[in-house]
Structure 1
Amino acid sequence: MQIPVINRSHHPLPEYQTPHAAGLDLRANLEAPVTLGPLERALIPTGLSLEIPVGYEAQIRPRSGLAYKHGIGLVNSPGTIDADYRGEIKVLLVNLSNEPFVVNDGERIAQLIVAKHETIAWQPAEALSETQRGAGGYGSTGVG
């Protein structure tokens, strides 16, 4: 799949880190480091704008290494970039640790995954088909 991209950062375009990786790493495009204190969040620019094809979305997901080593996640995970958005991709990082974390220019801060999606049409109904689970919600299966 080819996706038109504008790169206003001074970093190379995102690349897959391994041959079978699903996500591309996004890098921070910063003029100065950003320090996130415990429980603080910040919108980090990437300098990238995309033209996602209709019927697809770009998902922004946390990087597992940042989450495990530093407690850094995304407030809206996964974030969705719709096919009609043409602005800069920004990543909403949050520090869930007890220590300050410094985001430096060029640091890999999130992953981008492009995924196909369906557009639904609602079909009003008076009842839904029966299942073994039924309306059982949180914890209703008794597992875990």
Structure 2
Amino acid sequence: MTNTVGVQVKRLPHGEGLDLPTYATAGAAGMDVLSAEDVSLEPGMRHAVATGLAMAIPAGYEIQVRPRSGLAYKFGVTVPNTPGTIDSDYRGELKILMINHGTEAFAIKRGERVAQLVLGPVTQAAWHEVGELDETDRGAGGFGSTGR
């Protein structure tokens, strides 16, 4: 059973005629979001792809922007700040920061699925400064300390 949370969305003029983000299957965690523009990403190029949407995410939630695995695998096109976070108090246009790690230019067409959006709850931390931390088996072992 899944939870459903309402998210208000405003379609901007350049988003007219495009579908709202949708789940491809009943068990999908992420909603596919579409590009509202045509753009070509040269190898190594980054671009904030317009979606033509703005939204009001409920307090206590965020939307994470994640890459589409097919674009990453087949073309090397991904979201560089994965996952990107859209905060509940942001009201500007949702743009998807994309980068082409491939060897050839990649054309993004208006209406093409460019990323996934995952709505999730947010827990905010309350910091408590202490003089010492409790001991664990791992201790201060960092990168690679637990094996391969």
CA distance in 1, matches of 2:117, 2:20: 12
TM-score by length of 2: 0.93
CA-CA distance at 1:69 after TM superposition: 0.8
CA distance in 2, matches of 1:45, 1:102: 14
* Structure 2 residue aligned with 1:66: 71
**Residue 93 (1) aligns with residue 98 (2):** yes
Given that residues 43 and 101 in structure 2 are in contact (C-alpha distance below 8 angstroms), is that contact kept between their aligned partners in structure 1? yes
* Structure 1 residue aligned with 2:6: 2
Render the CA deviation track for 1:80-128: whole Å, top value 9, x for unaligned.
0001000110001000011110011011000000110111111010111
**Structure 2 unaligned residues grouped into runs of 5+:** none
Task: Determine what percentage of the aligned residue pairs are the same residue.
Answer: 48
Render the CA deviation track for 1:23-73: whole Å, top value 9, x for unaligned.
10010001xx21111111111000111111111101000000100111001
Q: Residue 69 of structure 1 aligns to a residue in which SS? A: helix
**Residue 135 (1) aligns with residue 140 (2):** yes
* Structure 2 residue aligned with 1:35: 40
CA-CA distance at 1:77 after TM superposition: 1.0
CA distance in 2, matches of 1:127, 1:58: 35
CA distance in 1, matches of 2:39, 2:22: 24
Written as runs of structure 1 = structure 2, the 5 A alignment for 1:97-136 is 97-136=102-141
TM-score by length of 1: 0.95
4+ residue runs of structure 1 moved beyond 4 angstroms? Answer: none
Q: Residue 70 of structure 2 aligns to a residue in which SS? A: helix
CA RMSD, 1 decimal: 0.8
Number of aligned residues: 141
CA distance in 2, matches of 1:20, 1:75: 26
**Structure 1 unaligned residues grouped into runs of 5+:** none
Given that residues 19 and 34 in structure 2 are in contact (C-alpha distance below 8 angstroms), is that contact kept between their aligned partners in structure 1? no
